[in-house]
Structures are given as structure tokens and as C-alpha cells.
Amino acid sequence: MSQSRFTLRNRNPDVLSCIANLSNDEVFTPPHLANQVLDSITEAWSVENSGANIWSDETVTFLDPCTKSGVFLREITKRLINGLEAQFPDLERRVEHILTKQVFGIGLTRITSLLARRSLYCSKDASGEHSIVKSFDNDAGHIWFEPLKHTWKGGKCQYCGASKKTYDRDTNLESHAYAFIHTDNLKSLGSEFFASEMQFDVVLGNPPYQLNDGGGVGSSAVPIYQHFVTQAMKLHPKFMTFIIPSRWFTGGRGLDSFREQMLKDKRIKIIHDFPNASDCFPNVEIKGGVCYFLWGLTHDDDCTVTLHNGDQENTLKRPLLEEDCDVYIRYNDAIPIFKKIRAKSEESFSELVSSNDPFGFDVREKGSYKRVKPDFKLEPFKNSCEFYYNGWREKGIGHIDKSAISKNIDWVEKYKILIPKAWGVGNPANDKIRPEIFGKNTCCTETYLVVGPSNNRKELENIVSFMNTKFFHFCLALIKNTQNTSPAAYSFTPVQDWSKSWTDEKLYKKYELTESEIQVIESMIWPGGSADE
């Protein structure tokens, strides 16, 4: 077998770097990123195995349970081809051993399984005449895929939470019932998929991120990447690594238990965090960024966290949870500032922020996510109040009967600050909240949250002065890493003396921040100037 058959794909451009993503939910992994992940495994294996080279070990097994393009399996194979030359001088025998004994994948869909087989075996049919493996007797080889159905319970899949209304489809359509996370019996994984019982030493991949729940996309979709991580843990691999959205750092829909499990797991050895997802995936926006982590079965120590900002990196070995803190702080340089703020034991600004839907207008029809809009008129009428239903004062203002208000009726006759519930994308360099004071006899839809209803307008003006500072946005950025912003996102932001106005200079002095700590805030929050510009 000629060496050229294995070096052909080294020509530029690499076809796997040119494939467009299916969507922001199923993002293909660029080869350079796959190799960064594999480099982390290389180093960790060497440290924990007395300097041994994982790519020179013919017994190590690898599983990608969420194979799309096959890039991880291909790059693993290329490394093993080089590393096992001494054990298998004959190239054909070496490749046969690697692809039949060491490298395994589970396709996400039929089309991705065919793509992965083409990447790995040079043929979509693993047993075909063009395949570089000659001992397979089936077209799948060791990249398994069979269409599955969801297991419905109460209108949702009991494994992944998919909506029956959306995904109970004709058998000719893709169901997105991913095999790896739709089973209770992982012990049979090897025999069911690959015809042999086996232990996988390394489990890795870039799983699909979410499923549309029938009510929209983005924040209303159901996250599913966490299921791949928890399933992989059950296999007890020596190492595990996945590329996933960073939203789990601070929770999110259906992620609270996953976050708690991960942040308390001392086996997480490394985290590489990319607040700007395009640093990982060019031309892809994933609100809150993405990360990849390395989990080691025998690791029992702090985690080495590397924050990536373009070409800049900041690395610190630290616990994932600071003392008396249940949220992960992604910015290494922010931790000393956070500790200074917490040392004053001040009340949380979150106490001033209303719960979602402050006036009770987020009414939904039974069995549907369609909002029922309350009746309003464009002109005032008897017993009406101003009603902000979409956008700010110049658009989206109506008038509604006060009797339609079902919550916090006493707030109507007070001054209040309205802030959007969803704003920004989770990037502190660009995101800025824009608070606005509204007069008495006003209310709003669930689009907004209410801050500090008061009869004292001057007090609210001072609150707004605080909310317009970089210091305020810095505190918020310690938790907020996506667009949707619940009151809990303001938990690390301290309450101030509202009898006076606030500036960054006053706040820096109050909390005794050093010049280097001030520079952390200044470089992190709108570093090019005001976000209003």
C-alpha cells in the first residue's frame, strides 16, 4: 500500500476545513481545533503515564460518540500511523490494526456517518473496493449509525427532552434521536455497535448543542450536549474531552444539575474557554462562547483554566468554584476583584430586580408557547395606564386597563427603571445594558424587567448612574454569558448608597482596586470606549 494514500489529504486546502456547518446547533470541528484538543490529551497522557506517548500505544482505544465529519477520528489515525511505525513497520498492516482495533465512532445522522467513513476509510462503504481497510465485512466499519426513535413520555423524549410535537416524524425524516444518549445500557455499547465488548480509553467529540423545542430557537431550545458528557462518564474512560457551549458555566435551561456536577468534579483537569466562539469556529455565533475541557479519571486537583481572547491567552490553575460561590467565574484576572467586592458583604443588586414578567402578562395558551397578548389601545382611556409592549418609548407604547394587571399593581403608580430581559450576546466587550426611568402610571410586558420601583425619582437616577458604569457591567459579566438575563445574573453586583450618584472612579476608590485591577475592568468592558458609540 503506497504512502501517498495516507498523505493525500495533507494537501491544502483540507476539505474538512472547508465544510459549511449544518447550523449553529451542529457545528463541524475545524482540523486545527481538533488537533488542539488532541495535543491536550497527548500532554495529559504523558504526565500520568511516566512520559509515555499515547500515539505509540497499540492498545489505546478511542471513541467519538458524536461523529460528524470524522475529523477527530481522522486526526487520531494520522497520529497513530506515525506513532506506531516501530510496532508495525508495514504501513498497510499498521493502518488495518488502527482502524479495526483502536478507532471507533457513532454517527449523528446518516449523512454525517457517510461523511465520516469517507474521511476515515476513503470510502463511504467501509467494506467497499476503495476502502483502505480490507477486513471489514459491513459497510459501516467502526463508524456505527442506525436511525432510532425517541422514547416519548408526557410529550417529551425521556432521554433528551425533545418535543414529541416537533420530532415525532415520518421514518424518512431525520429524528435526531442520537444513539449514544438514547440508552440505559451503556455496558452493551461495544457489543451492540462494534460486535465486541470493550473499554474505551479516550472518549471525545463535539456533540450537537440543542434541539428546537417547538417554541423557537436559541434560548428557547432544549440543550442536549450535557447528555453526551454524562453518558461518557459512565464509560469510565481514562480521559474524556468535549467541545461544548460555555453556557453551562452559569446554568441555563435544564443545565442546573449538570453545572453543579461539573463544577464539583475534581477530575476536570483542563478547561479552554473561548468567550468569542468565532475564535474556535470562524463565522459562527454561539452566544456565551464555547469551551473544551479535559476530564481525567484519576485527576483529583484544581483545574488549569485558559481563557482565549483572539491571540491572547490567560492561564491559571484554580478551583472551579470559589469559596461560598456556586457559579463559575470564567475570567481569571477577575477573581481578585471579585474577592474584594465580596469582602464587603453588601446586599445583592438582584434584590432590586423583578422576577420575570413583572406585571403578569406572559400568559400562554395551554399546550402552546404562543403568547396571548392583552388588549390595549393606542390612546389613553379611563382607568388606563401606559403599557410598554415592544421596544422603547418611540415605539411599542399603548394603554391598557389597570384591571388587566395581575402582578405588582402597586408598582404602577411608582417611578421605575425598565431594562430588557434579553440583551447583548454575553460578550462584555460589546454588551451594554440601557436602563431608562419611566414615570408613574406605567407597566410593561415580559419583555422587560423592573428595577427598584420608588416614589423617589432622584434615587432611581442614582441607580441608573451606577448601572451605566463599567464596574457594574464587570460584576454582571462574572455571571452573564448569554443573551437572556434573569435576576440571578445580578447576584454578584453589590447594592450602593443610592443617595448619591456613582462613577467608575468613585467605585474603584471604594473597593480599593489597584491600577492593574482597574486595567482588568477597563480592558474587559468596552475596551474601545463607550458601548453607546
pLDDT digits (tens, 9 = 90+) for 244-278: 999 888 767 788 899 999 999 999 999 999 988 88
- Per-residue pLDDT band for 7 (boundaries 50, 70, 90) equals very low
Which grid cell is 474?
464587570
pLDDT of residue 3: 41
Instruction: Read off the amino acid at residue 466.
Output: F
- CA 155 to CA 211: how far, in whole Å? 15
- CA 495 to CA 194: how far, in whole Å? 59
Say yes or no to pLDDT of 55 above 60. Answer: yes
* Cβ neighbours of 273 (radius 10 Å): 23
pLDDT of residue 427: 76
pLDDT of residue 217: 41
pLDDT of residue 13: 52
Average pLDDT over residues 30-46: 95
List the 268-274 sheet strands across, edge first.
143-144, 103-107, 62-67, 202-205, 239-245, 290-296, 268-274, 303-309, 312-318
* Cβ neighbours of 339 (radius 10 Å): 12
List C-alpha distances in Å: 264 to 299, 301, 323. 13, 11, 12
Least confident of 54-58, 136-140, 171-175: 171-175
Say yes or no to pLDDT of 531 above 60. Answer: no
Average pLDDT, rounded, for the chain: 86
Polymer length of the chain: 533
Say yes or no to pLDDT of 219 above 70. Answer: no
Report the C-alpha dihedral over residues 356, 357, 359, 363, rounded to 10 degrees: -140
pLDDT of residue 356: 86
pLDDT of residue 5: 46
Q: Is the dihedral of CA 401, 403, 407, 412 positive or negative?
A: positive
Instruction: Read off the amino acid at residue 181.
Output: I
pLDDT of residue 243: 96
Say yes or no to pLDDT of 395 above 80. Answer: no
Average pLDDT over residues 476-503: 89
Helix, coil or strand: residue 332: helix
Least confident of 27-36, 148-157, 388-397: 388-397
Average pLDDT over residues 50-57: 96
Average pLDDT over residues 218-239: 87
- pLDDT higher at 501 or 247: 501
Say yes or no to pLDDT of 16 above 80. Answer: no
Average pLDDT over residues 321-326: 81
- pLDDT higher at 188 or 137: 137
Least confident of 120-129, 130-139, 184-193: 184-193
Average pLDDT over residues 303-329: 89
Q: Are 41 and 239 in contact (CB under 8 A)?
A: yes
Least confident of 123-127, 192-196, 434-438: 192-196
pLDDT of residue 465: 97
Average pLDDT over residues 50-75: 95
- CA 386 to CA 26: how far, in whole Å? 43
- CA 330 to CA 287: how far, in whole Å? 15
- Per-residue pLDDT band for 499 (boundaries 50, 70, 90) equals very high
Put residue 321 in one of left, alpha, beta given phi > 0 → left and psi -120 to 50 → alpha: beta
- Is the preceding omega at residue 13 within 30 degrees of 0, hence cis? yes
Give me the percent of the chain exceeding a pLDDT of 90: 54
pLDDT one-digit tens code per residue, 401-413: 998 888 899 999 9
- Per-residue pLDDT band for 220 (boundaries 50, 70, 90) equals low
- pLDDT higher at 369 or 90: 90
Say yes or no to pLDDT of 369 above 70. Answer: no
